[in-house]
């Protein structure tokens, strides 16, 4: 039987690994998040002996709805049972080491994570720097490894990105009329509450005494909650922030000549794909000393980590001026979709092919 990997979540990451799995003589297929497709792929395993060789768990987010979250727990338990009965090998890509991005019911979330970790033959964190944190949370060293993403593949330039480019140029022009120099940042993300740059963006921008202005374009829907609502109001009132409170498929490569740095801060133990985007474009990634991102940026020399005790805008100017892209190339040399696919194959077949 041909090697076949079933991914529990469908996105550009599963697509990137699947493309490279084909080069290794394997097949990768993403099931999506729906119940029906997963059942249609797994149930035939009962009478065909095996529906695939490998099942890859990924995100284990839940929902505000308690019944729906309980249903997800049951779905995962059933998936593990089918894999056990049919001999399918289980891997878990632990994108978030400490907790899931959306854990509305912490008890259920912890139970799902413990259950998948118990049955997975390998637990793969999303960067080598996260292995220590996984060990501290009880993942056995002999079952722990790390996987990676790869360089981004940008889509074509659509009308929305062309309009966004004009908006950035207009924003920079307005600032240039009353500033000696404009250092412009870009922050693009979704509405996860762990993304703390929504909260601290107003404190990140401002004017320096020498006439330099640090400004930023903030793209993405704000997370729900009073704290984020207050931050949204502050951001819209800040003259050095341009806020687009909507979801846009941004082509950063097309916009790269218009800004000077990426900004992202997160309070969990995960690696945002922004690190790969910034490295590919050789732009500094600037973050706060929170979560894992600050340590990765510092160790890999991808940009800079802001010191909370000092004024922020001067630090950003210094990081941008002193940035060298050598670390970006080293970061990407060690991480690629091809390496990620090879890690999956090695993790699944470390003890040989299934009989």
Reading the block at residue 287, the tokens are 């973050």
pLDDT in tens, 18-31: 999 999 999 998 87
Q: 335, 343, 348, 345: which is closest to 25 by C-alpha?
A: 345
Whether pLDDT at 355 is above 50: no
Reading the block at residue 109, the tokens are 């979330």
Segment among 25-34, 75-84, 208-217 with least mean pLDDT: 25-34
Whether pLDDT at 1 is above 80: no
User: Is the Cα dihedral 268, 270, 271, 272 positive or negative?
Assistant: negative
Q: What is the largest CA-CA distance in the chain?
A: 74
Whether pLDDT at 52 is above 90: no
Distance, CA of 265 to CA of 270 (rounded, Å): 11
Whether pLDDT at 237 is above 50: yes
* Cα three-residue angle 153-156-159, rounded to 5 degrees: 140
Question: Domains, the chain, ranges and CATH?
Answer: 3-150+335-348 (3.40.50.2000), 159-333 (3.40.50.2000)
Whether pLDDT at 33 is above 90: no
Distance, CA of 53 to CA of 90 (rounded, Å): 9
20-34, 42-56, 155-169 — most confident range: 155-169
Whether pLDDT at 167 is above 60: yes
Angle between helices 106-119 and 66-86 (to 10 degrees): 10
Distance, CA of 291 to CA of 317 (rounded, Å): 23
For residue 246, what pLDDT is reported? 87
Is pLDDT larger for residue 308 or for residue 347?
347
Q: Which residues contact 213 (CB under 8 A, 6 or more apart)?
A: 175, 179, 181, 182, 183, 205, 206, 207, 240
């Amino acid at each position: 039987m041909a090697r076949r990997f079933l991914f529990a979540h469908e996105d550009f990451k599963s697509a990137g690994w699947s493309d490279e799995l084909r080069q290794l003589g394997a097949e990768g297929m993403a099931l999506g998040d729906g119940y029906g497709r997963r059942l249609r792929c797994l149930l035939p395993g009962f009478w065909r002996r095996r529906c695939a060789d490998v099942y890859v768990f990924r995100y284990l987010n839940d929902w505000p709805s308690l019944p729906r979250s309980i249903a997800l727990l049951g779905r995962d338990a059933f998936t593990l049972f089918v894999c056990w009965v049919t001999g399918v090998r289980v891997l878990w890509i632990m994108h978030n080491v400490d907790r899931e991005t959306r854990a509305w019911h912490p008890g259920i979330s912890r139970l799902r994570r413990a259950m998948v970790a118990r049955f997975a033959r390998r637990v793969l964190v999303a960067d080598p720097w996260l292995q220590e944190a996984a060990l501290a949370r009880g993942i056995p060293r002999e079952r722990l490894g790390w996987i990676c993403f790869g360089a981004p593949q940008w889509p074509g330039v659509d009308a929305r990105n062309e309009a966004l480019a004009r908006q950035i140029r207009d924003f920079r022009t307005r600032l240039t009329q009353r500033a000696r120099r404009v250092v412009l940042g870009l922050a693009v993300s979704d509405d996860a509450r762990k993304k703390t740059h929504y909260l601290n963006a107003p404190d990140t921008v401002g004017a320096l005494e020498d006439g330099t202005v640090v400004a930023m374009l903030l793209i993405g829907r704000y997370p729900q909650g009073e704290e984020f609502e207050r931050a949204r109001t502050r951001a819209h009132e800040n003259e050095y922030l341009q806020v687009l409170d909507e979801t846009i498929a941004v082509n950063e490569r097309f916009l790269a000549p218009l800004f000077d740095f990426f900004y992202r801060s997160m309070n969990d133990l995960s690696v945002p794909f922004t690190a790969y985007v910034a490295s590919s474009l050789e732009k500094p990634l600037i973050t706060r000393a929170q979560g894992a991102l600050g340590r990765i940026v510092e160790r890999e020399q991808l940009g800079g980590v802001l010191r909370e005790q000092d004024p922020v805008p001067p630090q950003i100017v210094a990081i941008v001026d002193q940035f060298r892209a050598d670390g970006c190339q080293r970061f990407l040399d060690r991480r690629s979709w091809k390496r990620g696919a090879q890690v999956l194959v090695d993790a699944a077949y470390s003890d040989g092919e299934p009989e």
